Amino acid sequence: MQPKEPSPALRLTVDSRALVANWNTLNRLSGAAEAGAAVKANAYGLGIGKTVPALWEAGCRDFFVAHWSEAGPVAAHVPAASVSVLHGPLTEQDAIYARHLGVKPVINSLAQARRWIDAGGGQCDVMVDTGINRIGLPLTDLGDSLILQLSIDILHSHLASADEVSHLNALQLERWNDARGQVAHRRASLANSAGITLGSAYHGDLTRPGIAIYGGTPCAALDGKIAQVARLEAAIIQVRELKSGDSVGYNATYVASRQMRVGVVSLGYADGYFRVWSNAGTMIHQGQALPVIGRVSMDMTVIDLSNAPTLAEGDWVEVVYDLPDAAAKTGLSQYELLTGLGRRFAS
């Protein structure tokens, strides 16, 4: 008989109540507009299955992914017509797949418009570039006959600097409003998480929050309004006694100044706990801080157990990972901190 696979030594817990509360906050801040949800990159690393059903039950009716490989997993939980694929049909096969599955491609170029029409067309979205200069139709292409043939649900654009005071925000708003007057569409969407806080002029009919749903605060206007969603835990795989003068980890970046008890936890940069946490991170147990000592390696991190003398091998500790605070301490963006989490976490 095949033995049961051992349990992972890492856990990622998604607080669905906090997730829903964050979406409700963003939906309320969206005023007359409705809030959708960016669920690309496996819901920012937290898992489609853990997030999309909860958001749908809360009232979210529009979901946005980037890659075609992400469309099916989301559509397994919600009606396919509520899913938009931001990168659009890059090939004829993409267009055929979209029609078969029932999801909406986001048209970003005249070539994609032609591809969609030639595949049989149907409801789609359109992305207009108003100044971020990534993907999206130039404003000058909006009057093209191919665009006029499309059945457009959502007319999108994307803000480049919503998280800061920038003249570009008002300029993009002006261009987006100009685009809204040029092409027929059912709904219009411009604001991401930070863009929601810029005011009702930026809301249109639909907002597209992402990072703030998952516990990030991309701008000061959201401080205190967004709850932590992701909680990380790691198992202690060994306990060691150090003598004064013993060093810890690669390159001996920490040297014990006294006799001390330390724990090796099964977490490292392969799991998204990057080397910036070396001699800087903290884990906790029953409210007691357990500082990271030495350099974070690929699969292991060492912590000082002085404040938790009863911890033993096999016990679990929580990783301090509040996104805004972690970003301030590491210099990494909240997006990197969340989407960089590895695949070895169990729920």
Same domain, 160 and 239: no
Active-site annotation holds for 44? no
- Runs of H (alpha helix) within the chain: 16-29, 40-44, 48-58, 71-75, 92-101, 110-118, 145-148, 167-180, 193-196, 323-330, 334-339
Tell me the pLDDT of the chain averaged across its residues.
Answer: 97
How far apart, in whole angstroms, are the C-alpha atoms of residue 175 and residue 193? 20
How far apart, in whole angstroms, are the C-alpha atoms of residue 299 and residue 296? 8
Same domain, 210 and 247: no
Does 11 map to a domain? no
**pLDDT for residue 270:** 97
Same domain, 62 and 164: yes
At residue 333's C-alpha, the angle toward residues 328 and 337, to 5°, is 95
Same domain, 184 and 266: no
Same domain, 202 and 301: no
Question: What is the helix (H) or strand (E) element at residue 285, kind and residue range?
Answer: strand 282-285
Same domain, 194 and 235: no
- Residue 230 · residue 321 · CB < 8 Å: yes
Strands (E), 29-167: 34-35, 37-38, 63-65, 83-85, 104-107, 123-127, 151-156
Same domain, 197 and 99: yes
Active-site annotation holds for 329? no
- Among the candidates 164, 195, 217, a domain finishes at 217
How is residue 67 annotated by DSSP?
Answer: S
Domain containing residue 108: CATH number: 3.20.20.10
Catalytic residue among 225, 250, 269, 335: 250
Does 278 map to a domain? yes
**pLDDT for residue 1:** 87
- Among the candidates 163, 185, 217, a domain finishes at 217
Same domain, 244 and 186: no
**pLDDT for residue 53:** 98
Does 333 map to a domain? no
pLDDT in tens, 216-231: 999 999 999 999 999 9
What is the model's pTM? 0.95
* Greatest pairwise CA separation for the chain in angstroms: 77
- Residue 96 · residue 119 · CB < 8 Å: yes
Same domain, 116 and 188: yes
- Residue 243 · residue 260 · CB < 8 Å: no
Structural domain boundaries enclosing 262: 230-321
Does 337 map to a domain? no
Strand partners, 292: 303
β-pairing, 83-85 vs 37-38, is: unpaired
- Among the candidates 217, 243, 268, a domain finishes at 217
Same domain, 100 and 243: no
Angle of the 48-58 helix axis to the 16-29 helix axis, nearest 10:
50
Residues in CB range of 95: below 8 A, 6 or more apart: 89, 105, 115, 116, 118, 119
Catalytic residue among 40, 97, 214, 335: 40
Does 330 map to a domain? no
Domain containing residue 267: CATH number: 2.40.37.10
How far apart, in whole angstroms, are the C-alpha atoms of residue 338 and residue 230? 8
Three-state secondary-structure class, residue 50: helix
Residue ranges of the chain whose pLDDT lies below 70? none
Phi, psi of 312, rounded to the nearest 5 degrees? -135, 175
**pLDDT for residue 50:** 96
**pLDDT for residue 256:** 98
How far apart, in whole angstroms, are the C-alpha atoms of residue 252 and residue 165? 43
Same domain, 189 and 46: yes
pLDDT in tens, 67-120: 999 999 999 999 999 999 999 999 999 999 999 999 999 999 999 999 999 999
Does 73 map to a domain? yes
Does 64 map to a domain? yes
pLDDT in tens, 4-32: 989 899 999 999 999 999 999 999 999 99
- Residue 99 · residue 118 · CB < 8 Å: no
Does 90 map to a domain? yes
Same domain, 62 and 157: yes
Distances (CA, A) of 126 to 131, 169, 246, 313: 15, 20, 61, 54
Q: How many domains does the chain have?
A: 2
